[in-house]
Amino acid sequence: DAKTTQPPSMDCAEGRAANLPCNHSTISGNEYVYWYRQIHSQGPQYIIHGLKNNETNEMASLIITEDRKSSTLILPHATLRDTAVYYCIVRGHYNSGYALNFGKGTSLLVTP
Amino acid sequence: SQTIHQWPATLVQPVGSPLSLECTVEGTSNPNLYWYRQAAGRGLQLLFYSVGIGQISSEVPQNLSASRPQDRQFILSSKKLLLSDSGFYLCAWIAGGPKGLAELLAKNIQYFGAGTRLSVL
């Protein structure tokens, strides 16, 4: 699976958009980009995923560059409850029963 | 709808004591099941996964073992706990069954339980 690089931490003011970047320059054609988040002392929560097209759901939007080497998770109106560690994961090949390989993620702090 | 249950939520055990953590999934059949561990301030580490009853794969050598006695039940065990076994243990699942690779990758959403915080003293 391709490796991902994320900033270790970010701040965002409540009510503003939070834009979380992720680099995955070695991604291959059949690998998907997944985003999860983990609120303190809870299990990780699925947010969104995509292959090449931009995706949007009730939680967030995912913007993938045309060359697919990077992506951005957008939380359009961040709230205090969005404070969490956000993980960008690239998954393609069968490995470990399709388990997800979590890196260190980005710790997002939403401030009042 | 599918749900995943993990218990207990917290556990304090002395060094050398046994361990048994249980995870059950409802609302799906033949899921892939996973045990992860998260040490304090660290990322998630995959410990075991199972693609079917009695089928267990271990990702790292350790003091722990896993079993899957029923389709939707996954158990993490230890005969003698070590201090280093302390951490946050998470069970997870994805929908199993016969699927092509493309479909599995496209729908590879893992769902996690609430976790068990284990302190070995």
**Is the CA virtual torsion A33, A34, A38, A43 positive or negative?**
negative
Binned at pLDDT 50, 70 and 90, residue B50 comes out as very high
Q: Out of A42-46, A98-102, B69-73, B102-106, pick the least confident.
A: B102-106
Choose the mutation target among A30, A90, A98, A101 for the interface with B, i.e. most B CBs under 10 Å: A98
Cβ atoms A106, A86 nearer than 8 A: yes
Minimum CA–CA partner of B112 in chain A: A43
Mean of pLDDT values over B26-34: 88
Give A42→chain B minimum CA distance, Å. Answer: 6
- According to the model, what pLDDT value does residue B101 have? 56
Q: In angstroms, what separates the C-alpha of A67 from chain B's closest C-alpha?
A: 19
8 Å CB contact of B109 and A94:
no
Contact of B40 with chain A, judged by CB distance below 8 Å, is answered with no
Q: Which has more confidence, B118 or B41?
A: B118
Q: What confidence category does residue A4 fall into, taking pLDDT thresholds of 50, 70 and 90?
A: very high
Distance from C-alpha of B111 to C-alpha of A109, rounded to nearest angstrom: 24
Chain A within 8 Å of B83 (Cβ-Cβ)? no
pLDDT grade, residue A95 (50/70/90)?
low
The per-residue pLDDT for B112 is 94
Say if residue B92's pLDDT is above 70: yes
Average pLDDT, chain B: 89
Residues in chain B within 8 Å Cβ distance of A36 = 110
pLDDT at A3: 86
Using a CB–CB cutoff of 8 Å, tell me whether B53 touches chain A. no
Q: How many CA atoms lie within 13 A of B64 on its CB side?
A: 27
**What pLDDT, on the 0 to 100 scale, is given for residue A80?**
97
pLDDT at B98 exceeding the cut of 80: no
Note whether B102 contacts A: Cβ–Cβ < 8 A. Answer: yes
pLDDT over 70 (residue A87)? yes
The 3-state DSSP class for residue A82 equals helix
pLDDT of residue A63: 98
Q: Residue A109: which H helix or E strand, with range?
A: strand A106-111
> Which residue's structure tokens are 């998907």?
A32
Write out chain A residues lying below 8 Å of B102, CB-based: 30
pLDDT at position B106 over 90:
no
pLDDT on residue B97: 58
Tell whether A51 lies on the interface with B, counting CB pairs under 8 A: yes
A94/B contact by beta carbon, under 8 A: yes
